Amino acid sequence: MKKKVTLKQIAKELDVSVSTVSKALKDSPEIGQETIDKVKAFAKLYNYKPNNIAVSLQNRKTKNIAVIIPEIVHHFFTKVISGIEKHANERGYNVIVCLSNEDFEKEVINMETLANGSIDGFIISLSKGTQRKKDYHHLREVINQGMPLVMFDRVTDEIYCDKVVVDDGRGAYNAVRHMVRSGCKRIALVTTEEYLSVGNYRTLGYKNALEDAGIPIDEKLIVRIDDINCEKQIFELFRTQLFDGLLCVNEYFAVAALREARKRNIDVPRQLSIVAFSDGILAQNSFPRLTTVNQHGFEIGETSAKLLIDKLEEVEDDSHYRTEVIKTSLIERESTNPV
Amino acid sequence: MKKKVTLKQIAKELDVSVSTVSKALKDSPEIGQETIDKVKAFAKLYNYKPNNIAVSLQNRKTKNIAVIIPEIVHHFFTKVISGIEKHANERGYNVIVCLSNEDFEKEVINMETLANGSIDGFIISLSKGTQRKKDYHHLREVINQGMPLVMFDRVTDEIYCDKVVVDDGRGAYNAVRHMVRSGCKRIALVTTEEYLSVGNYRTLGYKNALEDAGIPIDEKLIVRIDDINCEKQIFELFRTQLFDGLLCVNEYFAVAALREARKRNIDVPRQLSIVAFSDGILAQNSFPRLTTVNQHGFEIGETSAKLLIDKLEEVEDDSHYRTEVIKTSLIERESTNPV
DNA sequence: TTTTAACACTCTAACGTTTTCGTAAGGGTA
DNA sequence: TACCCTTACGAAAACGTTAGAGTGTTAAAA
């Protein structure tokens, strides 16, 4: 077991000073070529690598960024992480992933433990707990300390910072419009509870599309699911209402609907069109495969990382904040009819 | 924007020395109660938090552990990460996630950049590239530096370290036995290419189960899929062979088979039983829902984190290595018949 | 011959902690 | 009065690095 070699040890071996070694390794013009060669050879021989921690302490940069997400067992977030990872790695940053598990407390704890030097900046998607509580003091605190923060997907207007959001409203609008054009007359919506920002935007898009198509909005066709009784609530929708189109705000709701449709011998897409938000593996592998609103999670991740690192590395800090809107796209598969 | 306050600043304000402040905050008996109270009050007022980096440098511990996995967009690995996160957080550690993207080079780079002080230990599942290349120098190097390393799932015998593996052989064995008992006579296997360790163990379990049941092994019923031509190879299997049972080493293969079966109007499970390895969302939401071999990814993560942190915190290092075998369990759903 | 400049280094401080060692003041004992 | 022991605190080194300021030698310019 050979321990890591330090500048000091190299310096002692070669009988030069620590600073000479440090500078030699950086090809400083202050150091003679001979010495540079000698030091480099020795460093390579002993496989010298600078200690990241010491470097971080010195220049108050860690080259780490933290990503705080509500859940990792969720296709959208893993896509985002992949995107963040890719961009961050390309620019020499490591990614620390923390899970809030949709819990306000854990989100706060996570941020506090990391904000003390471990990282240079945050990328966060708010937990349900935080959105419900509307308590953003931990975000404010971090920003006040001068640490850049980027929010994505689940954002809030109450905090000023860089943001990356999905064009949820337009995504829903386009999905509904597509169904209308393909012949649907009564389109239902399965969405989440109200405190979730994205659900609201999607609901709005849904309503606008219906209005523009001259179809009256029927509140009985809108069901807000509380996660726990998903199957039951969908069952109720099918039992009490008639409809020939269905927009679901995530793929879980959509496959549940697909299942219910099959039980009732409703043919998809002949008798019922279904479109799901988020193009995950479920949608891609269901039967029939689902037409989806792709949110481009990977791109969201890349963009978030870019915004954050740009801010970290920007020379003068003109602190104006940007909001990037990532366009959705409709992926037509087998659960809808062609227009 | 108020910058972080340091010990030095507190010391200056209160007109005491830095060491007094440091000790006071730790309730050192060396410091008088009055001073302790004064310092603590001031620290709280200014929201003092010790700088993690400085602390890390001081005691050569970062309280960070790195997890290197091949892919994050994969249910099994996200489960493992959740397990690691949970255990690590409970013991005060942060988790740095790195993706190798199944690539040998990236795995090496990741380890090298992190091994220089940023983290205290590694948890890794080998990339396909590494398993194909059989080059483990980067692992050896890390271990030689005295940094603990835990391997999970995709491991190698060539490296001595703590390991957490799934009982793949027995999992496959039990799955096949279950199908035999429920009446299957000809059971096929869809597995991966040979260099992947887990695939081999599963194949072995499959063969053993058949032997024990007195069923001859027919190599034509074993198909090794190269990831790219999945659908086509499964199509070929169905076209050329007759079988009433099918074991797939992952859920993607299984849903592909399900799809092919439906196209051919083969009823699952009446005419064909299917069991899939890894109990992910696909298996849980397919139609019919799949009977699976659950690998307990969350538990694997927890165990890996436990082994690593135990090693990190153990007082004397009796360096003997443990291999924990996580038992699989068969989750019976709708794609097999009851015994 | 003196001044200057280039060269090739070394010294020192700094980043923010922790920790060991030292020591002054005060009180008690012999 | 001399000695010792507490109590309460400070100084300094250390972790490993970087960077600016300083230094000694030599050679070229004035």
Give the tens place of pLDDT for each residue, A149-163.
999 999 999 999 999
**Are both B213 and B272 inside the same structural domain?**
yes
pLDDT at A24: 96
- List the pLDDT tens digit at each of the 339 positions of chain B: 778 899 999 999 999 999 999 999 999 999 999 999 999 999 999 999 999 999 999 999 999 999 999 999 889 999 999 999 999 999 999 999 999 999 999 999 999 999 999 999 999 999 999 999 999 999 999 999 999 999 999 999 999 999 999 999 999 999 999 999 999 999 999 998 877 777 889 999 999 999 999 999 999 999 999 877 888 999 999 999 999 999 999 999 999 999 899 889 999 999 999 999 999 999 999 989 999 999 999 999 999 999 999 999 986 666 789 999 999 999 999 999 998
pLDDT at B316: 62
Chain centroid, CA B213 distance in Å? 33
**Are both B80 and B160 inside the same structural domain?**
yes
Which pLDDT band holds residue A28 (cuts at 50, 70, 90)? Answer: very high
Footprint of strand C on the protein (CB under 7 A): A 15-20, 23, 30-35, 54, 57-58, 60; B 4, 6-8, 18-19, 22-23, 25-26, 30, 48-51, 54-55, 57-59
**Are both A288 and A315 inside the same structural domain?**
no
pLDDT at B318: 66
**Are both A256 and A151 inside the same structural domain?**
no
Inter-chain CB proximity A99 and B112 less than 8 Å: no
Q: What is the residue-averaged pLDDT of chain A?
A: 94
**Are both B122 and B76 inside the same structural domain?**
yes
Query: How many beta-carbon pairs below 8 A join chains A and B?
Result: 131
Residue A1 lies in a domain: no
Contacts of B281 in chain A (CB under 8 A): 281-282
Helix (H) or strand (E) holding B188: strand B187-192
Gap between the Cα atoms of B314 and B316, Å rounded: 6
Q: Give the phi and the psi of residue B57 in degrees, each rounded to 5.
A: -60, -40
**Are both A279 and A305 inside the same structural domain?**
no
**DSSP-derived 3-state class of residue B192:** strand
**Are both A151 and A92 inside the same structural domain?**
yes
Our CA dihedral for B128, B130, B133, B136, rounded to 10 degrees, sits at: -160
Examine the pLDDT at A194 and tell me if it is beyond 80: no
Inter-chain CB proximity A259 and B287 less than 8 Å: yes
Gap between the Cα atoms of B209 and B211, Å rounded: 5
Residue B290 lies in a domain: yes
**Are both A16 and A78 inside the same structural domain?**
no
Q: Which domain holds residue A19?
A: 7-50
Structural domains in chain A (count) = 3
Q: Give the phi and the psi of residue B69 in degrees, each rounded to 5.
A: -125, 160
Gap between the Cα atoms of B45 and A11, Å rounded: 44
Angstrom distance, B325 CA to C30 C1':
71
Residue of chain A nearest B252, judged by CA positions: A285
**Are both A275 and A179 inside the same structural domain?**
yes
CATH number for position A240: 3.40.50.2300
Q: Copy the structure tokens of residue B179.
A: 């199908």
- Choose between A129 and B315: higher pLDDT: A129
Residue B194 lies in a domain: yes
pLDDT at B199: 81
At A221-246, the pLDDT tens digits run 999 998 778 889 999 999 999 999 99
**Are both A250 and A142 inside the same structural domain?**
no
**Are both B156 and B205 inside the same structural domain?**
no
Gap between the Cα atoms of B193 and B230, Å rounded: 12
Using the Cα atoms of residue B118, residue B119, residue B120 and residue B121 in order, give the sign of their dihedral: negative
Q: Copy the structure tokens of residue A145.
A: 């300390």
pLDDT at B317: 61
Q: Give the residue-averaged pLDDT of A14-39.
A: 95
Terminal CA-CA length for chain A: 68
Indicate the residue type of B306.
K
Gap between the Cα atoms of B208 and B211, Å rounded: 5
Gap between the Cα atoms of A217 and B177, Å rounded: 55
Our CA dihedral for A267, A272, A278, A282, rounded to 10 degrees, sits at: -10
Inter-chain CB proximity B53 and A56 less than 8 Å: yes
Gap between the Cα atoms of A57 and A128, Å rounded: 35
The residues near A6 (Cβ < 8 Å, ≥ 6 apart) are: A48, A51
pLDDT at B193: 82
**Are both A155 and A182 inside the same structural domain?**
no
**DSSP-derived 3-state class of residue A291:** strand
Angstrom distance, B37 CA to D1 C1':
39
